[in-house]
A and B are shown apart, each in its own frame.
Chain A
């Protein structure tokens, strides 16, 4: 008899990048058995047809209209799909973990403001935010988990210790400069996403009013001015947060603040100054891992916080599996132990 309990899992929207990452993680997870992966567009195609790293997975894409009963259903669909189908998802599984934006926010008014409304607002009250560092205790008895947005996650994890320690005053401006890889755009293509256009770019996008600012308002109770840039990498999100203050704490104090917040967190690492090749967080070395690296510096009138992660992992699929581990009572790092590659080319 196996010492590890086995949970069955299904992945809805498994043809996309985050769906593929969930499949990869579950395939290597000792406690999960993947029984279904759905895709309307690639019905009956093998998983390896779209995710070549998963050629050995003996599954074909099936229809999301015929969901099998599972212990956990991961939904990696475009925004708007999960909210429209949440009832059938909950009929298929006791625990639904949604990687889209559909259950991240707690109130329908926020969806009216930041998204295009919500068609199943009655389910928002039973949804739990999926970022463990912010909301660990609530995950243990969750039935619907809404994972954090990748850009919100990287920004929030950078600023969270400052919020905890009272350094984020609403009167002090916070400016976030974000660089993101192309996989954040998913598999949808268009002229702007072609290699000829996207290679080599530092392209501003969502220059103001980025949707992920909503999560910072809800979960950290702060307002930030966030601007994103699409840069020439496939995986990765890196945030540089400028917190303007009258008199910043010392570097030694910041070490204490960040250590206190993250010393027991298995996926949070402090990378700040010091020696070595990478003295501050670098998204490239985090590709494929569930780590978020955070660092900081100070100037006369500001605290500068750097944070980086793999948007498909800590920013989405890894966060989802981390949340599942907690919800199911497993050791948090199960199936998420990969430490990355070094050296490595552009991820």
Chain B
């Protein structure tokens, strides 16, 4: 388990030891879905999501 900072709210996000590149983890504080874009060192980016208008 590794602690990283959420790139949205700065809260601590615990990454599982076996987390893989491209895996999506959600921040327990702000709920943001974060994509693991780096492993050594760890890097997180906001995962793309559908907008509220659902494409209309």
Q: Which residues B14-41 have CB closer than 8 A to chain A? A: 26-27, 29-33
Are A256 and B10 in contact (CB-based, < 8 A)?
yes
* B residues less than 8 Å from A271 (CB atoms): 31
**Closest chain A CB from B34 CB (angstroms):** 9
Contact with B along A133-156 (1 / 0, CB 8 A): 000000000000000000000000
CA distance A185 to B49 in the complex (A): 39
Distance (whole angstroms) from the CB of B31 to the closest CB of chain A: 3
CB <8 Å contact, B31 and A255: no
Q: Give Cα A259–Cα B28 distance, bound, in whole angstroms.
A: 13
Taking the closest CB of chain A, its distance from the CB of B25, in whole angstroms, is 10
Residues of B near A255 (CB, < 8 A) are 8-11, 29-30
Q: Kindly list chain A residues whose C-beta atoms are within 8 Å of the C-beta of B26.
A: 274-275
Cβ-based interface call for A183 (8 A): no
Does the CB pair B32–A274 fall under 8 Å? yes
The 0/1 profile, CB within 8 Å of B marked 1, for residues 268-287 of chain A is: 00111111100100000000
- Which B residues are in CB contact (< 8 Å) with A272? 9, 30
**A193 on interface, CB distance cutoff 8 Å:** no
Q: What's the nearest-Cβ distance from chain A to residue B7, in Å? A: 8
Q: Inside 8 A of A273's CB, which chain B residues have their CB? A: 8, 30-32
| B10 and A274 contacting across the interface, CB-CB below 8 Å | no
Taking the complex as formed, is A252 at the interface, i.e. its CB lies under 8 A from any CB of chain B? yes
B31 touches A276 (CB 8 A): yes
- In Å, the complex CA distance between A259 and B8 comes to 13
A279 B31 Cβ-Cβ under 8 A: yes
CA distance A340 to B38 in the complex (A): 39
Q: Which residues of A contact B9 (CB under 8 A)?
A: 251-252, 255, 259, 272
Report Cα–Cα, A259/B29, bound state, in Å.
10
Please give, as numbers and ranges, the residues of chain B lying within 8 Å of A276 by CB-CB distance: 31
Instruction: Please report the C-alpha to C-alpha distance between residue A272 and residue B52 in the assembled complex, in whole angstroms.
Output: 14
Binding site for A on B (CB under 8 A): 8-11, 26-27, 29-33, 47, 49, 52
Considering the complex of A and B, which 6 residue pairs feature the smallest CB-CB distances, nearest first?
Answer: A274-B31, A255-B9, A275-B33, A274-B32, A274-B30, A252-B10
Q: List 30 A-B contacts (CB under 8 A).
A: A251-B8, A251-B9, A252-B8, A252-B10, A255-B8, A255-B9, A255-B10, A255-B11, A256-B10, A259-B9, A259-B11, A259-B29, A270-B30, A271-B31, A273-B30, A273-B31, A274-B8, A274-B26, A274-B27, A274-B30, A274-B31, A274-B32, A274-B33, A275-B31, A275-B32, A275-B33, A275-B47, A275-B49, A276-B31, A279-B31
